[in-house]
Amino acid sequence: MFILILGAPGSGKGTQGRILAERLGLPKITTGDLIRTAMKEGTAPLGIEAKKYYDEGKLVPDSVVLGMIKDELDRPEAKTGAILDGFPRTAAQAALVDKTLAQRGQRLNHILLLDVTEDELVRRMRARSQVEGRPDDSPEAIATRLQIYQRDTAPLIAHYTQRGIVHRVPGGGTVEQIAEDIKRIIGR
Ligand code: AMP
């Protein structure tokens, strides 16, 4: 089973993805974490290329991340299912995911869209910046990330809604409430 957690930055994708992956015993693929690791280790080309976009809150270009996404989906652990956290985020990434799975006779089974108001997103990212000190949680980068989500990623919702696999999950409650909602939607 392949499940995509979709939502604006700060909507709780990472937290809910972790809970779901543990419950279903599936690997979680998190492009943000992979990019952060590559930057920390200075891996070429990903880590080095990513930095100039990441810190400003911009998406790392598809030319840099598509190869990474393909490699992750092709890993043996992800052969029968995975939780996708943080990708696809663009039309080109969605096309790659669709094609890679289709070639294996698979598809995305569920899209969980975490629905959180913009005020709440900003509040959470500011709170996180106090704790984690992520450079992309600065006020300027937060604004850029929200804009880019609306421009590049939100259109994917329409693409997947046509297939009838999008479930809107109210994302403003507690972590436990949201996890329960997701359990009910997935049916396990
Ligand atoms: P996240 O941790 O998912 O909020 O991602 C943090 C940052 O990593 C984003 O603002 C982008 O710079 C980069 N990033 C993560 N996932 C992707 C992706 N699928 N495509 C492009 N850039 C990404």
The ligand 1 site (C-beta within 6 Å) comprises 9, 31-32, 35, 53-54, 57-60, 65, 86-87, 89, 93, 136, 145
- pLDDT tens digit sequence for 58-72: 999 999 999 999 999
Q: Above pLDDT 90, what percent of the chain?
A: 94
**Average pLDDT for 16-27:** 98
- For the whole prediction, is pTM greater than 0.85? yes
Q: How far apart are CA 57 and CA 71, in angstroms?
A: 24
Ligand 1 centroid to Cα of residue 31, in Å, is 6
- pLDDT tens digit sequence for 55-113: 999 999 999 999 999 999 999 999 999 999 999 999 999 999 999 999 999 999 999 99
DSSP string, 122-185: HHHHHHHHHHH--GGGSHHHHHHHHHHIIIIITHHHHHHHTTT-EEEEE-SS-HHHHHHHHHHH
Q: Whose CA is nearest to atom 19 of ligand 1?
A: 87
Q: How far apart are CA 93 and CA 114, in angstroms?
A: 19
Ligand 1 centroid to Cα of residue 28, in Å, is 15
- Quick check: 44 pLDDT over 90? no
In a 13 Å sphere around the CA of 103, the CA atoms on its Cβ side amount to 9
